[in-house]
Structure 1
Amino acid sequence: MRSAELVQLLPNVFQRAPQMGRRWKVLLEAMEGFHAPSEAALAELDALFDPRRTPDGFVSFLARWMDLELPVTTGLGRLRELVAAGAELSQWRGTARGLLLFLSTATGRRDFELDECVLGPDGVPRAFHICLRAPEELLPHRVLLEHIIDLEKPAYVTYELHFTASEAVGQGRR
């Protein structure tokens, strides 16, 4: 806030005081200096809540707000993308589309395959059971993938997670 703006906020008696000279000018400059850090922070407040522009240390805080406390081993950039996609992920929670979207956002890969009709040893489809195939390059991130599957699948659904060579995994169904 500039000195001229500060004077406008003061009572009338003080607004006429600029004729007092140097002391008044120094006091107004000091007040202006006290406001500068707050104004700078407020000018960039929107960046603080944008997961793609926020400082690195604030991303995990935003992730907690979005209920995304995950062991994200794929990097800070992926966590930023998860937070940015939080509303859409929430909208599709508990669906095959939501699970695949979550996995793709968390890993940056789109080559997951979800089979919702898994046959049992007797050849009969297993009720409430899914099989998810992921590229073998994601094997080091198995804990993350299992955590996401546990969060996103309905509670009554069981699952298998298999890692396959990239060329064997097709484009995941959406």
Structure 2
Amino acid sequence: MRRAAIERLLPAAYQRAAVPGSVLSALLDAMETLHEPDERLLADVDSLFSAYRTSEALAAYLTRWVALDQVITSPSGARLPIRPGDLRNLVAIGAHLAQWRGTPYGMRRALEVATGVPGFTVVEPADRPFHLIVRVPPAAADRLALVTRLVSVEKPAATTFEVVVEPALPPIPTA
């Protein structure tokens, strides 16, 4: 709050006593200075809760708000390696993912967003009920810990799974 705004909140006797050089005047100046950091924060408070405008630390915290904090943290409590941009994308579509939790579409979408790599496939073999096979594109092979954690959290509770990295396609010969 600005000094003038604080002063207007005081009783009339105090307002008259807040002349330059008085103790009350110095106190009002100190109050204005102490309020300044909070005023700056409140002026742009919406950026705190925007996945793309908040700080990296708060983006990780926002995963809790969209029920994805267990995805980016291993059972031991260690943070899994997820790139900051992918984390922000995951937070941004967290509500959408919550609607599709436990479905092949939801799992595919979460995997693609968390890794930044398209092309995941989730197969439910007919001969193995309550089992999923998650095929990982070669470009995401270096993020298997994240993929495995995400699948274990996003799959239906009574379902088993396996994660298989697809072989890289051979290069196309040029003539």
TM-score tier after normalising by the smaller chain length:
0.7 to 0.9
Question: What pairs with 1:21-170 in structure 2 (closer than 5 Å)?
Answer: 21-23=20-22, 25-65=25-65, 66-69=67-70, 70-71=72-73, 72-116=80-124, 118=125, 125-165=127-167
Q: Structure 1 residue 141: deviation in Å?
A: 1.0
**Where in structure 1 are there 5+ consecutive unaligned residues?**
120-124, 169-174
Confirm or deny: 8 A CA contact 2:102 2:154 kept in the other structure.
yes
Instruction: Report % sequence identity.
Output: 37
Confirm or deny: 8 A CA contact 2:133 2:163 kept in the other structure.
yes
Alpha-carbon RMSD across the aligned residues, in angstroms, is: 2.3
The ranges of structure 1 where at least 4 consecutive aligned residues each deviate by more than 6 angstroms after the TM superposition are: none
Q: Structure 1 residue 10: deviation in Å?
A: 0.4
- Structure 1 range deviating more: 94-103 or 43-52: 43-52
Confirm or deny: 8 A CA contact 2:117 2:139 kept in the other structure.
no
Q: How many residues are aligned here?
A: 161
Confirm or deny: 8 A CA contact 2:131 2:160 kept in the other structure.
yes
Report Cα offsets for 1:27-67 as digits up to 9, x if no partner: 43232212112211222222222222222222322223434
Letter in structure 2 aligned against 1:58: L
Q: Structure 1 residue 98: deviation in Å?
A: 0.8
Higher relative contact order (CA 8 A, sep 6+): 1
**In structure 1, what is the Cα distance between the partners aligned to 2:27 and 2:146?**
57
Letter in structure 2 aligned against 1:22: G
Report Cα offsets for 1:106-163 as digits up to 9, x if no partner: 01122112222x25xxxxx322222221111211211111111111111222223221
**In structure 2, what is the Cα distance between the partners aligned to 1:106 and 1:51?**
14
Confirm or deny: 8 A CA contact 2:120 2:134 kept in the other structure.
yes
Q: TM-score, normalised by structure 1?
A: 0.79
Equivalent residue for 2:173?
A: none
**In structure 1, what is the Cα distance between the partners aligned to 2:83 and 2:17?**
58
**In structure 1, what is the Cα distance between the partners aligned to 2:98 and 2:87?**
15
SS of residue in 1 equivalent to 2:69: coil
**In structure 2, what is the Cα distance between the partners aligned to 1:63 and 1:44?**
21
